[in-house]
Amino acid sequence: MFEVVNFNEIGSTNDQVKRALRAHADEGYVCRARSQVGGYGRQGRLWTSPEGGLYQSVLLRPDVDVAKLPTLSLVVALSIRAALLRLAALPEDAVKVKWPNDLMVGDRKIAGISMEALEGGVCLGMGVDVFRPVDVGDDLLSDGKYEPAFFEDLAIGFTETGGIAFGSGYEFANKQEAIAAVGDAVLSAFEQCYPVWQERGFDPFMDEYKACNYLQGKRVRMQLLSGDTIVTGEVVGIDENACLLVDDGTAVRVVNSGEAHVL
């Protein structure tokens, strides 16, 4: 389904895919880059993208009602999680999903997702911290709320010949091969989920998401990008429309946008 086009350096993989959307490119085009000089994440936040991470964006043209689109980023998050767990041979609770589209290892962020609808299609951007970049401090890689986690600390060792080994037994000659393998594993996991989501929506994924929901049971303050508070309370789950459910002490509020700040 996917056709990966590789770049050594690019402004933004998202921008490349959006150009392809405007040019009426077919579904399945993937832009992957070793580094980005103008990368950005959700809500347009700048994203430092030095060599060492996985940066790829996917062009999709889902045949679904537009109301279903918000659940797609949650399915992508579950696909990234499944790929990391499989490659690293990690226990199920090692990686969790923070609503709406971050992945966490403990209280550190290992991956993020952005999604934009455009020209009758969708641009899905994703970044995974695979290797710790050389000469780049964690403060520059932080999103301002969470310190970064790196896949190399969870899963990567070295072979007797100096190659790179994942916990699952996969071996690679160098870092770029290993990063590409992470990207391919994410696409493979998503390829299995995508037709199920198109046909049946988010319902088949609900139990899995609930089991790895980073925010479950946490007290949070939900804020808009402007800083305005939507609600403060305890997260009690998500609903079938991918909305976060927050108990403010008097009622369960349904939140469909915003950022969750753990208190």
Cα 122 from Cα 32, distance rounded (Å) = 16
Residue type at 37 in one-letter notation: V
pLDDT at 244: 95
Confidence of residue 168 (pLDDT cuts 50, 70, 90): confident
Which is nearest to 213 in space by CA: 97, 93, 102, 73?
97
**82 close to 92: Cβ distance less than 8 angstroms:** no
- pLDDT at site 227: 85
User: If we measure between CA atoms, which residue out of 109, 80, 86, 40 comes closest to residue 191?
Assistant: 80
Give residue-wise pLDDT tens across range 14-64.
999 999 999 999 999 999 999 998 755 554 455 568 899 999 999 999 999
pLDDT digits (tens, 9 = 90+) for 127-166: 999 999 876 655 555 556 789 999 999 877 777 777 888 8
Q: What is the band of 262 on the pLDDT scale with cuts at 50, 70, 90?
A: very high
Residue 9 has pLDDT above 60, yes or no: yes
Q: 207, 215, 206, 223: which is closest to 244 by C-alpha?
A: 215
Contact between 255 and 221 under an 8 Å Cβ cutoff? The reply is: no
From 83-87, 152-156, 238-242, the region with the lowest mean pLDDT:
152-156
Residue 167 has pLDDT above 60, yes or no: yes
Residues 6+ apart with CB under 8 A from 23: none
Identify the pLDDT of residue 51: 93
- Considering the chain, what percentage of its residues have pLDDT values greater than 70? 92
Give the whole-angstrom CA distance, residue 234 versus residue 239. Answer: 15
Whole-number pLDDT of residue 137: 58
Neighbouring C-beta atoms of residue 178, cutoff 10 Å: 25
Question: At a CB cut-off of 8 Å and minimum separation 6, what does 213 contact?
Answer: 96, 97, 99, 235, 237, 238
- For residue range 173-232, what is the model confidence (pLDDT) as tens digits? 899 999 999 999 999 999 999 999 999 999 999 999 999 999 999 999 999 878 889 999
H runs (alpha helix) in 34-167: 72-88, 138-141, 151-155
Q: In this predicted structure, what is the pLDDT of residue 46? A: 54
Whether 151 and 88 have beta carbons less than 8 Å apart is answered as yes
Angle between helices 175-200 and 72-88 (to 10 degrees): 140
Instruction: Supply the pLDDT for residue 160.
Output: 72
State phi, psi for 113 to the nearest 5 degrees.
-135, 145
